[in-house]
Amino acid sequence: MELRLSAREYLSRGDSYEEKMQYLVDAGYDAIELTGREDILEVVDEIAAASRNTGCAVSTICSGGRGALMAGEMEAREVAMTDLKRFLAAAGQLGATGVIYAPLIAVKMNPGTYTRLPNLSPLWGREELEKELLVELATELAEHAEQHGVCVLWEPLNRYEQWWFNSLSDGADLCNRVGRDGCRIMADFFHMSIEEDTIPGALEEYALDYVAHIHLADSNRATPGHGHTDFAAAFAALEDVGWDGFMALECSPRGDTTEDITRAAQFLRAEA
């Protein structure tokens, strides 16, 4: 399998986008996964020029937006929607796959700022209400994404980080309910190592129809090769189903960052 490797922007080095992209190309990567910023549409031309000059593609944008999409506070939901739509427009201009968002993580990470939706039992339970709201918001965002030729990449997180939306099956259910090409999921090997029976089995079942992007990390969330994840088996499953999207490094390097992410790229290509 020929990998298309990307890496999160925080793993790169440099003061400008061109320096960051060249750094990743030199380390053995094909693309960068940008961190979303409020003014991204103002710097999209700079990013596009850096991509042309270095040959480093933009695989995705990982939301760094404001607000919280699933918060009980309407203002927080509205600002999150505004930023996500801005990121989707930028992703379209940059030829990226789409924008990554974990639906409930911002609420959990900011308990003093945002609250969960209320429990409206017996009319609606809290989790039932969250699921219904996510379908409505995901549908609106998918329509916007399709206008820009990209998709929203909903990220399942493990149960210790997000109380729901933990598995690829949760993501597939959302995609089925939305029923639009602009709604897809992202598979993260670290979270999958906790939530799925096996990473290869889950990829064989869901990758081709639902997964449009992958995050790579080992079982201990370090760079690949420092834990016990069977990357060769996972890559074989992806090859069997004909999946060929970008895979982005999202993990903690060990020791010298440049040396470790360079080693990780070599390790992953050997495993494929």
Range of the domain at 75: 4-271
Q: Identify the residue whose tokens are 């495993």.
A: 271
The CATH number assigned to the domain holding 24 equals: 3.20.20.150
Q: pLDDT tens digits for 176-213?
A: 999 999 999 999 999 999 999 999 999 999 999 999 99
Q: Is 143 a catalytic residue?
A: no
What backbone torsions phi and psi does residue 66 show, to the nearest 5 degrees?
Answer: -85, 170
Residue type at 187 in one-letter notation:
A
Are the C-beta atoms of 263 and 225 separated by less than 8 Å?
yes
Q: What is the mean pLDDT of each run of 10 residues along the chain (272 residues)?
A: 96 98 98 97 98 98 92 96 98 98 94 93 93 97 98 97 96 98 98 98 98 98 98 98 98 97 98 96
Dihedral-angle region of residue 269 (phi above 0 means left; psi in -120 to 50 means alpha; beta otherwise): alpha
Instruction: Please report which helix (H) or strand (E) contains residue 59, including its range.
Output: strand 57-62
Q: Which residue is catalytic, options 18, 33, 250, 271?
A: 250
Q: Is 204 a catalytic residue?
A: no
Q: Which residue is catalytic, options 130, 155, 195, 196?
A: 155
Number of domains in the chain: 1
Q: pLDDT tens digits for 26-62?
A: 999 999 999 999 999 999 999 999 999 999 999 999 9
Nearest to 259, CA basis, from 23, 99, 18? 23
Residue type at 16 in one-letter notation:
S
